[in-house]
Amino acid sequence: MFEGKRVLVTGGTGSMGRVLVRRILSGEQGAPAKVIVLSRDDAKQYDMRIAYMNRSVATDDVTYRNFERALEFRIGDVRRYADVVSAMRDSDIVINAAALKQVPTCEYFPMQAVLTNCVGAENLTRAIIEHRMPIEAVVGISTDKAALPINVMGMTKAVQERIFIAANIHAPQTRFVCVRYGNVMASRGSVIPLFRQQVLGKSPITITTEDMTRFMLSIDQAVDTVFAALKDAKRGEVLVPDAPSSKMTDVAKAMVGDRGNEIRVVGIRPGEKVHEVMISQEECHHVRKAGNYYAILPMLPELQDKSASAPSARNRELSSADSLLDFDGTRALLEKHKLLPDQDSVPFDSKY
């Protein structure tokens, strides 16, 4: 899939981006000719570059010969069209991991979320259309919050999905697809690192509501979803993993173990759902099953497969309230991914 390809990863210094870049460079899906990371934070790029070069001591020379290496870093912003055009030049595959994803932050600064999540996506599609770039595929990374969105983050991600889907009409030489998944365990800003910090600090574990459920996906499973979309998703489809879900109270209890931390209910945050929906009731009427994934078919008639006559793979929404793991299953899942406080795991958000 990546053999000899030039791959651009926007937001490549984030939790998801770092693991994505590491796995692309591993050659498990073919050895790429180049992986380009476009992001705004020079400090994160510097740390990532040092990790890539296996350097324990940082000196200025690590930034030299950047453009000659298999992993190339570019300072830039998906909000700026010129930055996007420059980074996309000669790329074969684009994975858009750049995002504002913190729900409260997006509520307080909604226009900033629009600029990154929507205008950033539009800049990518505009560059391909206006410059007739021979990009093979673009993957937009979305969220379960884009289904029936009630918060700014979900709303902007829902629009991002539509921007990429519509781009298939205007740039038919490129395949635009999206992936949509839920809570990525241990990613930056997720609840498990918070619980871990509270447990080890002997503080109360804060739960927003006892009823809250979330889909549970490891960061590697999130990357697997991107790879599956690149391999198998058809133009305009949104790929959704068939992932398990858990009650957040069970996650908290599993993290606490026998330590005796108090579990305190603090109330739901603005813009937060009790249960997340990965596929809405409206979307479930045009869904196909693809292995361990669901593919939401595009609604635009130009992108619909007229020869397909199979019934939809679902007849109801896909909610995190469905098929919940019990406490033992939740604890086993956390233990499998080495996320319990007493496990000797890789530090959170430093998985490159």
Asked if residue 238 lies in contact with residue 161, where contact means CB atoms within 8 angstroms, the answer is yes
How confident is the model at residue 269, as a pLDDT? 80
> Tens digits of per-residue pLDDT, 293-335?
999 999 999 998 876 667 888 989 999 999 899 999 999 999 9
| Domain span at 107 | 6-182+217-242+279-319
Dihedral pair phi/psi, residue 79, rounded to 5°: -70, -25
How confident is the model at residue 59, as a pLDDT? 59
- Please tell me the distance from the alpha carbon of residue 154 to that of residue 143, in angstroms, as a whole number: 7
Look up residue 345 and give its amino acid: S
- Please tell me the distance from the alpha carbon of residue 280 to that of residue 273, in angstroms, as a whole number: 14
Q: Please, which residues bridge with residue 327 across strands?
A: none
Asked if residue 214 lies in contact with residue 243, where contact means CB atoms within 8 angstroms, the answer is no
- Please tell me the distance from the alpha carbon of residue 249 to that of residue 274, in angstroms, as a whole number: 12
- Please tell me the distance from the alpha carbon of residue 330 to that of residue 141, in angstroms, as a whole number: 26
The verdict on residue 124 lying in a domain is: yes
How confident is the model at residue 309, as a pLDDT? 67
The verdict on residue 68 lying in a domain is: yes
How confident is the model at residue 58, as a pLDDT? 55
User: Which candidate in 5, 145, 234, 273 is catalytic?
Assistant: 145
Residue 180 confidence (pLDDT) above 90:
yes
The verdict on residue 105 lying in a domain is: yes
The verdict on residue 334 lying in a domain is: no
- Please tell me the distance from the alpha carbon of residue 326 to that of residue 341, in angstroms, as a whole number: 20
- Please tell me the distance from the alpha carbon of residue 272 to that of residue 270, in angstroms, as a whole number: 6
pTM: 0.91
145 is catalytic: yes
Calculate the average pLDDT of the chain: 91
Retrieve residue 292's tokens: 């361990």
The verdict on residue 269 lying in a domain is: no
> Tens digits of per-residue pLDDT, 97-133?
999 998 989 999 999 999 999 999 999 999 999 999 9
What percentage of residues in the chain have a pLDDT greater than 90? Answer: 76
The verdict on residue 208 lying in a domain is: no
The verdict on residue 203 lying in a domain is: no
Sorting pLDDT into bands at 50, 70 and 90, what band is 347? very low
Asked if residue 242 lies in contact with residue 283, where contact means CB atoms within 8 angstroms, the answer is no
Sorting pLDDT into bands at 50, 70 and 90, what band is 190? confident
Instruction: Find the CATH number of the domain harbouring 121.
Output: 3.40.50.720
The verdict on residue 120 lying in a domain is: yes
Which whole number is the average pLDDT over 42-66?
75
Number of domains the chain contains? 1
How confident is the model at residue 348, as a pLDDT? 45
How confident is the model at residue 344, as a pLDDT? 58
Asked if residue 178 lies in contact with residue 236, where contact means CB atoms within 8 angstroms, the answer is no
